[in-house]
Amino acid sequence: MSARELFSFRNPHTRTAVSVTAFVFLLSALIGFVLLPLAQPHLQLAGLWDAICSAAGVPRGVASTAAPPAEPTSKVVLTSATLAHPSQQSIGRGATLAQRCAICHGPTGISRADSPNLAGQYAAVIYKELADFRSGARVNAVMTPFATNLTDQEIADLAAYYAYLPRLPAFHPEPPRAPGTIVVYGAPSRGIAPCGSCHGSLDNKTGSPWLEGQSAVYLKAQLEAFASGQRRNDISAQMRNIARAMTSAEIEEAAAYYASQPAEVVKAVE
Partner 1 sequence: MLVNRRLILAHFWLAFAVFGLALLLGAWQMFVRSPLHTWLSNPEWYYRSLTAHGTVMGYVFPTLVAMGFGYAIAESSLQQRLIGVRWAWTGYGLLAIGAVMAMVPVALGRASVLYTFYPPLIGNAFYYIGVVLVVVGSWVWVALMSVNLYAWKKAHPGEVVPLPMFANVAGSYLWAWTAVGAALELLFQIIPVALGLKSTIDAGLARVFFSWTLHAIVYFWLIPSYIAYYTIVPRAIGGRLYSDTMARISFILFLVVAMPIGIHHVFADPMVGAGFKFVHSAFTALVAVPTLLTVFTICASVEIASRLRGGRGAFGWVRALPWDNPIMLAVTFSFVMLGFGGAGGLINMSYQLNTTIHNTQWITGHFHLIFGGAIVIMYFAIAYDLWPHLTGRALTDLRLMRTQLWLWFIGMIVTTFPWHYVGILGMPRRMAYYDYTNPALAPEAIQVTISVIGAVILVISGALFLTVLIRGQRTPQADSGPYRFSVALHPPTSLPAVLNSHGLWIALMIALTITNYGFPILNLAARSGTSVPAVYVGAQ
Partner 2 sequence: MSLEAQDHHDGAAIAARTERRWAIMSVVIIVVLTLLAVVAGLHQVTMPQARVETADPARLHLAGEFMESNLGTEVGADGAVTVRAIGQQYSFTPACILVPVDTPITLRATSADVVHGILVQGTNINTMLVPGYISEQFMRFHATGDHLMPCQEFCSFGHEGMWGKVRVIDKAAFAARAKAGGRLSCVGE
What is the C-alpha separation between 195 and 174, in angstroms, rounded?
20
Q: Are 55 and 39 in contact (CB under 8 A)?
A: no
Assess 40 for contact with partner 2 (CB under 8 A): yes
Residue 267 Cα to chain centre, angstroms = 18
238 is in the binding site of which of partner 2, partner 1, none (Cβ under 5 to 8 A by kind)? partner 2
- Which CB atom, from 55 or from 95, has the smaller least distance to partner 2? 55
The one among 108, 135, 140, 197 contacting partner 1 by CB under 8 A = 197
Degrees to nearest 5, angle at CA 76 with 144 and 197: 105
End-to-end CA separation in angstroms for the chain: 62
Using the contact rule CB under 8 A, the part of the chain among 65-73, 197-205, 212-220, 233-241 near partner 1 is 197-205
Residues between 70 and 99 with contacts to partner 1, criterion CB under 8 A = 79-81
3-state secondary structure (DSSP) of residue 192: strand
- Which CB atom, from 112 or from 190, has the smaller least distance to partner 2? 190
What is the C-alpha separation between 92 and 173, in angstroms, rounded?
29
What is the C-alpha separation between 134 and 139, in angstroms, rounded?
9
175 is in the binding site of which of partner 2, partner 1, none (Cβ under 5 to 8 A by kind)? none
Q: Which residues bind partner 2 (CB under 8 A)?
A: 31, 35-37, 39-40, 42-43, 45, 54-55, 57-62, 64-65, 67-71, 73-75, 77-79, 186-194, 196-198, 202-203, 205, 235-238, 241-242, 244-245
